């Protein structure tokens, strides 16, 4: 995975900690996804990067938005996204939130329970309902199983209740888990979708849509050994294209497909400029030596996902020098503020000194949305955006 020159240039020019997003790279990733999945409508999962400039550039290219709250809906509308291209994709929502979304013009709602669909009939009359099927989440860094989605039998009951309540049983949705690393997860999801679509067709219910959710992986993360992750994207896209055709066959008519990428669009085109707080050597309770690299940002101010994945670290000015294995952690006095609880070793330059810059690559997803307002007095990181001239480096 190569990272864009504009992003590196912006990081090199900084003398303070900051998150930088490469808008050109995000736009190019969006365009390439449309080429891989022609005819699929894309809705940006806003929770992955609620940055107005990022949303603006995607909206200008026709992207819709997957929103999880009325606040995200309002942000999408301010960016010029028409309400008909905003999907309220959170199955967890109060009566008040449903009513507010409906007032804002939203007509597409995800659901996964009889209670929720009953509330939708009351507070969002005539809305289009997408019932989310549960998936096992296997193969993903975050499986997203348990809290969301229902069984095929429940889905049939939910869509029946929707129709009885004056709602449109418009579609089914799935989510194979965030940073899904296998094509097999998509195969299993399509098997479920096809089974339910076929059963609905036998009952006389004709769906219009299938929402494939998110899950497409970023390309620039490292595994626990520090080796590049290598998600089989070509195979994933082939499975998705074939699965969409199987869904059409099960329905017996044309279906419209929607996908809601977040991480896939922004992760590799955002990075954090941080700095070294300290590289230290001490001995633990068992007497064994422990070397620690403490960074100026961590779990609570930009790198929330550091317990589940490893970011690629660049140490400008230290290329090619001797390295030492160290545990990487953030600056707070919280023991969870570390790679895998502090048990994962990373090779870092032996000559690092306090204040040296560190670039955290592929840090564009969830960096902004997961930051606290100042845990332990460490403030949220500011952010900025850069854009490469078309046809330039």
110 CB-near residues (< 8 Å, 6+ apart): 87, 88, 89, 90, 91, 130, 131, 132, 173, 211
> Do 178 and 277 fall into the same domain?
no
Q: Which of 28, 16, 10, 55 is nearest to 268 (CA)?
A: 28
User: Do residues 387 and 23 make contact, with C-beta atoms less than 8 angstroms apart?
Assistant: yes
The answer as to whether 392 is a domain residue is no
Q: Do the domain assignments include residue 148?
A: yes
Asked if the structure places residue 129 within a domain, the reply is yes
Task: Clarify whether residues 155 and 199 are in a common domain.
Answer: yes
For residues 222 and 337, membership in a common domain is answered with no
Residues 39 and 111 in one domain: yes
Q: Are residues 78 and 191 in the same domain?
A: yes
Choosing from 238, 267, 296, the residue where a domain stops is 267
| Segments forming the whole domain that contains residue 343 | 268-385
- Residues 331, 283, single domain; the answer is yes
Q: Are residues 299 and 151 in the same domain?
A: no
Which residues lie below 8 Å from residue 3, measured CB to CB, with a gap of 6+?
220, 268, 271, 361, 362
The answer as to whether 15 is a domain residue is: no
Phi, psi of 45 (to 5 degrees): -75, 95
Hey, what are 250's tokens? 């099960």
Q: How far apart are CA 227 and CA 102, in angstroms?
A: 46
Structural domains in the chain (count): 2
Question: Comparing C-alpha atoms, which of 64, 167, 26, 25 is closest to residue 110?
Answer: 167
Does residue 322 share a domain with residue 212?
A: no
Residues 174 and 93 in one domain: yes
The answer to whether residue 18 sits within a structural domain is no
Listed in order, strand segments (DSSP E) in 92-236 are 108-111, 128-132, 140-142, 168-173, 178-180, 209-211
Is the residue at 1 inside a domain?
Answer: no
Q: What is the CATH number of the domain that holds 102?
A: 3.20.20.10
> Quick one: which H or E segment has residue 64?
strand 64-67
DSSP β-ladder status, 323-329 and 345-349: antiparallel
Residues 240 and 338 in one domain: no
- What does pLDDT average to in each consecutive run of 10 residues of the chain (393 residues)? 77 96 97 97 98 97 98 98 97 98 98 98 98 94 87 97 97 96 97 96 93 96 84 97 97 96 97 98 92 96 88 94 96 92 90 98 95 90 87 47
**Does one domain contain both 76 and 136?**
yes
Specify whether the CB–CB gap between 170 and 129 falls below 8 A.
yes
In a domain, 193, yes or no: yes
| Nearby residues of 270 by Cβ (< 8 Å), 6 or more positions away | 7, 19, 20, 21, 22, 49, 362, 363, 364, 365, 367
Q: Check which CATH number belongs to the domain holding 365 and give it.
A: 2.40.37.10
Alpha-carbon gap, residue 22 to 7, rounded angstroms: 6
Same domain, 114 and 30: yes
């Amino acid at each position: 995975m190569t990272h864009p020159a504009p992003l590196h240039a912006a990081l090199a020019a900084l003398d303070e900690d900051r998150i930088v997003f490469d808008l050109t790279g995000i736009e190019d990733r969006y365009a390439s996804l449309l080429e891989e999945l022609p005819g699929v409508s894309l809705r940006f999962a806003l929770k992955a990067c609620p940055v107005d400039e990022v949303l603006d550039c995607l909206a200008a290219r026709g992207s819709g938005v997957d929103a999880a709250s009325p606040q995200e809906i309002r942000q999408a509308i301010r960016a010029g996204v028409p309400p008909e291209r905003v999907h309220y994709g959170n199955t967890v929502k109060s009566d008040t939130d449903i009513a507010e979304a409906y007032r804002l013009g939203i007509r597409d709602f995800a659901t996964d329970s009889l209670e929720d669909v009953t509330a939708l009939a009351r507070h969002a009359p005539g809305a289009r309902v997408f019932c989310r099927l549960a998936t096992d989440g296997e193969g993903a860094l975050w499986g997203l199983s348990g809290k969301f989605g229902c069984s095929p039998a429940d889905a049939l009951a939910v869509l029946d209740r929707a129709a009885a309540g004056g709602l449109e049983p418009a579609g089914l949705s799935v989510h194979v888990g965030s940073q899904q690393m296998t094509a097999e997860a998509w195969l299993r999801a399509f098997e479920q979708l096809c089974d339910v679509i076929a059963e609905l067709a036998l009952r006389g219910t004709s769906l219009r849509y299938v929402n494939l959710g998110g899950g497409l992986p970023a390309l620039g993360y490292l595994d626990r050994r520090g080796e590049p992750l290598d998600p089989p994207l070509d195979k994933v896209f082939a499975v998705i294209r074939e699965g969409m055709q199987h869904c059409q066959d099960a329905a017996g008519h044309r279906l419209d497909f929607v996908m809601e990428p977040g991480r896939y669009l922004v992760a590799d085109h955002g990075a954090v400029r941080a700095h070294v707080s300290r590289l230290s050597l001490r001995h633990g309770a068992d007497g064994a030596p422990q070397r620690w690299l403490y960074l100026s940002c961590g779990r609570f101010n930009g790198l929330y996902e550091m317990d589940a994945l490893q970011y690629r670290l660049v140490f400008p000015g230290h290329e090619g020098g001797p390295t030492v294995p160290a545990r990487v952690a953030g600056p707070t006095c919280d023991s969870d503020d570390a790679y895998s609880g502090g048990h994962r070793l990373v090779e870092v330059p032996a000559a690092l000194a306090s204040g040296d810059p560190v670039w955290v690559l592929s840090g564009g997803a969830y960096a902004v949305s997961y930051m606290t307002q100042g845990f332990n007095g460490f403030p949220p990181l500011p952010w900025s955006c850069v854009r490469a001239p078309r046809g330039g480096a």
